[in-house]
Amino acid sequence: MKRTDDTCNIVSRRYHPEEAAMLKLLTCRDFFIDKIRRNIGNNRNLTYEKVDEFFKRNQIIMEDLNRLNADMAQILDEPYTPPRGYR
């Protein structure tokens, strides 16, 4: 993992299957969130209630990942600066 002053950039050679799976999950989530944002109001299957549910679930997952990163960093005595909005 390459460090910068306020973020962790993902640089993975996919040595472990769980790393590749996590990258795939994050990439798919990013694609779908972006597509949902672009299609609100244009796709009748995307009700405002369903979109709100997706965004709330996404927020919970992001908060959990942030806490997991902070806990692992603390145990490993590594610095961790959460992304903007999670500090």
pLDDT band per the 50, 70, 90 thresholds, residue 23? confident
Indicate the burial class of 57 (C-beta count within 10 angstroms; 0-12, 13-18, 19 or more).
Answer: exposed
For residue range 55-68, list pLDDT tens digits in order: 999 999 999 999 99
Whole-number pLDDT of residue 10:
56
* Mean pLDDT within 61-79: 95
**12 pLDDT more than 70:** no
* Mean pLDDT within 5-19: 63
Whole-number pLDDT of residue 16:
78
The model's pTM is 0.74
